[in-house]
Every structure is written in structure tokens, then in C-alpha cells.
Amino acid sequence: IDTLDIPLVGTITAGQPIEALETRGDTITIARDTYFDPEQLYALKVSGDSMIEDGIFDGDIVVIKKQDYADNGQTVVAIIDENEATLKKLYKEKNRFKLQSANQNLLPFYRTEVEVRGIVVKIIRDFNKQLQTETKKFKTIDLFAGVGGIRLGFEEAGFETVFANDFEQKCKDTYDLNFDGTQLFVEDIQKLNEKKLPDFDFLLGGFPCQAFSIAGYREGFDDKKGRGNLFFDVARIIKEKKPTGFMLENVKNLKNHDNGKTFKIILDTLESLGYYVKAKVLNSMEYGNVPQNRERIYIVGFRDKKHYEKFNFPPIIKLKKSIKDLLEDNVDEKYYYDGKPLYEKIKDDVTNSNTVYQWRRKYVRENKKGVCPTLTANMGMGGHNVPIIKDKKGIRKLTPLECARIQGFPMDFKLPINMSDSALYKQFGNSVSVPVVKAVAKQIRKAIED
């Protein structure tokens, strides 16, 4: 089924009008089942239940066609009293407008002037699930799954996860809190029996980068020393299950690791298994509308040469989000440096509220305005790469939730209540930028769909 991306511009109430809540830069994927020009469409998340009788529930997504007029009885996005917005049925009376909830027991609003920003043309109860039910479900397995960043990106592109694995129990606590259905199986990948894995179409994983022994490589997959490298565990699963393809993610420097030997072995191995392979370094701030300077290499392979030839990595998109858009409003005092030994060393250098700084052991480094440096697993543990910001209350480090947002995780992604900050920092530092993965997944889907 053909799909398109439209901007998700914010949240609107289906009850008492409130100031419009803007979400800059977010998009949703919907089925292209309307005759409207995509440039005339945008989406809003609904808050409130006063439009239930009209089929619009709290938490739904409504697709809006931009126009400044409406027929009597149409459901509109209305701006009243300066910047207050609401979702209501509009009726024009003699000298005024009536904005009525679908629930007739609720009193209407009357205004002499109403600014119409568009009419509702589509209601999506759960847009991710709807997209998946309307499209063929290609099945994936999620290796080195962490907290599920790669899974999120692929499921938002319409794929279905049938198996997930990681060796850290704390990752399972976060993973299972956020996903229904397939949960995280905690086990060393070296102990997984590839013959017992469920069938799948695409293998996904961000495997650790380790030095490969050339001698071990020559011995092939049966060599114990060679298989000690976790990439060979990925390769043996591919060899056994023969999926349609795979997507592997790793650090940018993989290409130059061990003077390029590591990357050559990876490509040679994958090609020897019968796959056509493409690889590219993608930066989150260029390919995911994520305000983070994070470069990662994506390795995509297909068994079918036609799929390989159809596949292209996603295009560069404009960065619209900044760090300010992702910061929490009320942050616990423990994240602030005021009164702590480091404060005196950094207070004179940390001055811009829309910049992320880093303490590099002896000096403060200022990063590109509005963009975060690469998040790392050690950032919350007093390491040299701790991200620092200045807000209205003072100078502080990023919170784990903010790190999740800077990786592109959805606003409603849950963090375990009793988990330590250091564990959460590690999880999100080790994770992926979800929107970049989604962009790659959508390109993969285009390539493998008939």
C-alpha cells in the first residue's frame, strides 16, 4: 500500500480551549487513501473526550486538510481568543459562530470571530497499528536489542517483531515496559540456537565492534576463536535462516577499524552468504530531524539483486528541532551542578541556553547551537563527555528522559521507576536514533514490496 508522511504539528483539545501545543518537526506515516494534496495535510493528537460521539477519542490522531472555511456541522480546528485552539463542530448563526462538542450535553462556545485552520478528513485510532494492518507485515528479529530503538523504527515503518534478544537484564526491564507482544529474551547470543529461531524476513542488530583475527576468519564459521566475535553469531543466524535481508548498525569508525580489515571481513562474509550489500554513514541531525551530532554506519543487505538495486538510503532532511524542544520543564535538583565542585570550573563558560556543552576533564567544550554531541554510555557517570545545559534554574546535566528524546524516542516512552540513572544513561547512550532507523526501514520496505 502507498504511504505518505505528514507533519504532526502538536496536540489539540476536544474540550476546553487551551493554548496550542506545538510539536516541531515530528511526522507520522499514513496510508495514501485520500485524494487531497499531501501538502495540504497535517496531523494533530487529540486530548479530551468531548468528541467521542463523533468517533474521535482521547489520544486519537486526526488528519486535517488546511482551509480557512467550513460547512455547517463540519469538525474543524478552530483558533479562538488569540492562540487558544480547540476541535469542535462549527455552525454559522446569524451574527455569530457556534462551536459545539459532539456530546450534546456539553455547552457550546459562541464567538463573533473564529479562525478556521482546517477540517478533519481522517481519524486514526492507533496510526502505527493501522498502518501495520493495512500493509503486508514483514517479520524481523531484533538482535543486540537494547531498549528497542531499532524495533521502534521498523515497527513505525510497518514491520513486525517476532523475536528480540539482548544479554542485559536491565535492558529487558525497559524494553518489556514499552512493547506488547514479543518481549526481550535475555541470553548471550553465542548460546542462541539458530535452528530454533522463528522464521523472519529481516535481521536487525547493532553488533559490538571487535577486532577480527584473520586466521580465525580463514577457518570460517566452525572456528571457535572466529565465532568468539559476535559478528560471526549474526552471520551464522543469517546463514541458517536465509532471510530476505538485514540491517546492521555500528559506529562510524567501523570502516577504519583495524586498518579497514574488520569492515572488509564483514562485507566479504555477508557477500559470501549470498547477499548484495550497501553501507552508508548517516548523521542523526541530517537524516532524522534529531538535534544530535551522531554519525553511525548502516549496513543493508538483500538476497535478491532486484531489491538491492531498488534500495536507496534516505535523503537528507532539514533539521527543524532544537535541544530546547526536547527539554523537561521541571527537573529534579540532583541534576544541577550549583554548589558542587564542578560548578566553579564551568559556570563562566556555560552561558547559552540553547547549546549543549561538554566537560572534557580540564575545559568546557561548546557544541553547535541547538545540537547535542553524540550521546555515549558513560555520560552519566562522571566521564569526560557529560552533556551540560543551562536552563532557567541553573547549570545541569541532561536527564535520562531528555537523552531518550534526543535519540528520537517517542514522548510517551516509559522509563522504569526504580532503575538507576547510570543504567538509563548507558541504555540510551548505547541506543540508536529512532527516526533515522525509521527512515532506513521505509526505504527497505519500498525496495522489497512488489
Q: Which residues are catalytic?
A: 209
**How crowded is the C-beta side of 242, counted as CA atoms within 13 Å?**
2
Q: Are 349 and 366 in contact (CB under 8 A)?
A: yes
Q: Are 28 and 61 in contact (CB under 8 A)?
A: yes
* Cβ partners under 8 Å of residue 130, min gap 6: 31, 124
Find where cell 558513560 sits: 378
* Cβ partners under 8 Å of residue 445, min gap 6: 135, 138, 157, 158, 159
The alpha-carbon radius of gyration of the chain (Å, integer) is 25
Smallest CA-to-CA distance from 243 within 205, 217, 279 is with 205
Determine the Cα–Cα distance for residues 222 and 100; give it in Å rounded to an integer: 71
